[in-house]
Amino acid sequence: MVFADLFFLYFFMPVCLLMYFISKNTAYRNVVLIFFSLVFYAWGQPIGVLFLLFTTVLDYFNGRIIGKYKDRLPAKFAVAASLIINLGLLAFFKYSGFVVENINALFNLTLESPAKTLPIGISFYTFRTISYIIDCYWGKVKPQKNFGKHLMYMSLFPAITAGPIVRYETVEDQIDSRKIKLEDISAGLSKIILGIAKKVIVANNLSTVVTSLFGDFDSGYSLIGKQSMAGTWLGIISVALWYYFDFSGYSDIAIGLGRLFGFKFNENFNYPFICKNIAEFWQRWHISLGTFFRDYLLYLPIFGKRRQYASLFLVWFCTGLWHGASWNFIFWGLYYGIFIFIEQKIGKKKMKKIPLLITHIYSKIVIVIGFGIFYFETLGSLGNYFKSLVGFNGLIDSKTKLLLMNNLWLFVVAILFTMPIVKKLKEVMYKKQGTLILANSMGIVINVALLLVSSLLLVDSTNNAFLYFRF
């Protein structure tokens, strides 16, 4: 089941909310969330529920062992068991095919991949459970003694199949005690509608532009080898905008749903394209993933204190590999690692002295080119991409001009809404006396309009799976 679906919006979510709010206390409400979360997950992949439940049971007991024995040997074994088993399952399902594929290429073999189907959301709930176990061991959180509450944390449907990576420390207190105010319901619904609009109105249309310019994975990106330089740049800018609105749209819906149930998840995207350098971009883009690697990998003395940059590149290698079992993702991770390394060498003080115009231009070029590396998953198409990027197939073509003119409104809207324009307008209106009622009324009208337009587009739309499901 996906969020951008009429069945979810007008049946599953309302029924879940109804059952939730007629339940009298938090214990009953937790049971409602567990039931609907497991149904939500099983809807897309029934067999995947077994892996989710296995991970949940495994780390429930590992957490209890850590809590009982603290820094002693059984606790260390529990942490090791959690890491080995969870990362082992993730590696088996997500990367075994990649390993076999490269072995076959190197040694001219025809071995078959042992893993056939990737459990939905395994990349996300694996990191969620790892963060829980490590935080238990470090004493940042108390191990959950109630299995039902632990199951609810692990299966909570707003964030079970994709981002954000919700850490246990974020919701630890909210699991036992949640108070839902009218402002939570209002903010949650607004966030959900915004996320749906980002996906259905903007991201889906941008994806059509990208496919028109480059082709898609199934066709081997057949058009990139024929694309002009202008078409290639228009295409990768479209990819960057598409991925932003798709990813942030899903995160907005997840955060909004959490708010309706009394959970306050952290923001996952904070207007990343207004960044002035690459380090700032990654402080704003997919924040839950970036902070996960920062907190659990970057500061561990794997290579010793004198080799801090080795740890830096390990983080970016893992960041790339986490996104997919393909060389382009590894290149993409290391590509960003190089620019972070360069910026660290230059230093924050010197970076601030560079004129803003230059830093903005530099950062956007690096980011946009990076999205091309991320998008083209085969080495052949990646090579064609770099050739087209510098004009090997001509500078401009009539198809690119036509696509730009026909979708000019889309690009203008997309670029404008990567900036905090609406946020600033809200702040101004809420500060002025006498504009509160007007601001609230305008907000309701805009939400209704966005929901209506999105719903109409969903009637005949078939392109509603979020990009997050690929990872």
DSSP symbols for 72-113: SHHHHHHHHHHHHHHHHHHHHHHHHHHHHHHHHHHHT--PPP
Q: Are residues 133 and 269 in the same domain?
A: no
Q: Pick the more confident residue, 203 or 467.
A: 203
pLDDT of residue 418: 95
Q: Extract the tokens encoding 326.
A: 């393909």
Q: Pick the more confident residue, 177 or 138.
A: 138
pLDDT of residue 471: 59
Report pLDDT digits (tens) over 368-381.
999 999 999 888 99
**Which one-letter DSSP state was computed for residue 273?**
G
Backbone phi, psi, residue 461, to 5°: -85, 140
pLDDT of residue 462: 66
Structural domain ending residue among the three candidates 128, 161, 178 = 178
Q: Is the pLDDT of residue 426 over 80?
A: no
Report pLDDT digits (tens) over 257-281.
999 999 999 999 999 999 999 999 9
Report pLDDT digits (tens) over 144-185.
999 999 999 999 999 887 768 999 999 998 998 888 999 999
Report pLDDT digits (tens) over 305-350.
556 788 889 899 999 999 988 999 999 999 999 999 999 999 999 9
Q: Are residues 247 and 380 in the same domain?
A: yes
Q: Is the pLDDT of residue 220 over 80?
A: no
Does residue 199 lie within any of the structural domains?
yes
pLDDT of residue 191: 95
Structural domain ending residue among the three candidates 178, 204, 232 = 178
pLDDT of residue 111: 85
Q: Which residue has the tokens 């001009």?
A: 401
Report pLDDT digits (tens) over 198-215.
999 999 999 999 999 998
Q: Are residues 91 and 150 in the same domain?
A: yes
pLDDT of residue 464: 64
Q: Are residues 193 and 160 in the same domain?
A: no
Q: Are residues 253 and 130 in the same domain?
A: no
Q: Extract the tokens encoding 238.
A: 């479209």
Q: Are residues 52 and 32 in the same domain?
A: yes
Residue-wise DSSP of 440-460? HHHHHHHHHHHHHHHHHHHHH
Backbone phi, psi, residue 12, to 5°: -60, -55
Q: Rounded CA gap, 102 and 115, in Å?
A: 15
Q: Is the pLDDT of residue 194 over 90?
A: yes
CB count in 10 Å sphere of residue 464: 18
Does residue 1 lie within any of the structural domains?
no
* Cβ within 8 Å of residue 81, ≥6 positions away: 58, 62
For the chain, give the number of residues.
471
Q: Pick the more confident residue, 4 or 255.
A: 255
* Cβ within 8 Å of residue 8, ≥6 positions away: 1, 2
pLDDT of residue 431: 74
**Sign (positive/negative) of CA torsion 202, 206, 208, 209?**
positive
Q: Pick the more confident residue, 427 or 192.
A: 192
Please tell me the pTM assigned to this model.
Answer: 0.92
Structural domain ending residue among the three candidates 178, 194, 222 = 178
Q: Are residues 244 and 384 in the same domain?
A: yes
Report pLDDT digits (tens) over 360-414.
999 999 999 999 999 998 889 999 999 999 988 899 989 899 999 999 999 999 9
Spatial CA neighbour of 221 closest among 231, 229, 208, 210 = 210
CB count in 10 Å sphere of residue 210: 20
Does residue 13 lie within any of the structural domains?
yes
Q: Are residues 219 and 139 in the same domain?
A: no
pLDDT of residue 433: 61
Q: Are residues 226 and 337 in the same domain?
A: yes
Q: Pick the more confident residue, 144 or 114.
A: 144
**Which one-letter DSSP state was computed for residue 265?**
P
Lowest mean pLDDT among 156-165, 426-435, 445-454: 426-435
* Cβ within 8 Å of residue 289, ≥6 positions away: 127, 163, 165, 319, 322
Lowest mean pLDDT among 389-403, 417-431, 432-446: 432-446
CB count in 10 Å sphere of residue 68: 12
Q: Are residues 323 and 337 in the same domain?
A: yes
* Cβ within 8 Å of residue 353, ≥6 positions away: none
286 is catalytic: no
pLDDT class of 302 with cuts at 50, 70, 90? low
Q: Are residues 223 and 161 in the same domain?
A: no
Number of domains in the chain: 2
Q: Which of 150, 286, 323, 360 is catalytic?
A: 323
For residues 456 and 204, the answer to whether their CB atoms sit within 8 Å is no
Q: Rounded CA gap, 312 and 303, in Å?
A: 10
One-letter amino acid identity for 133?
I
Q: Which domain holds residue 454?
A: 183-470
pLDDT of residue 358: 95
Does residue 37 lie within any of the structural domains?
yes
Q: What spatial distance separates the first Cα and last Cα of the chain, rounded to whole Å?
A: 16
Q: Are residues 36 and 86 in the same domain?
A: yes
Tell me what the mean pLDDT of segment 225-245 comes to: 94
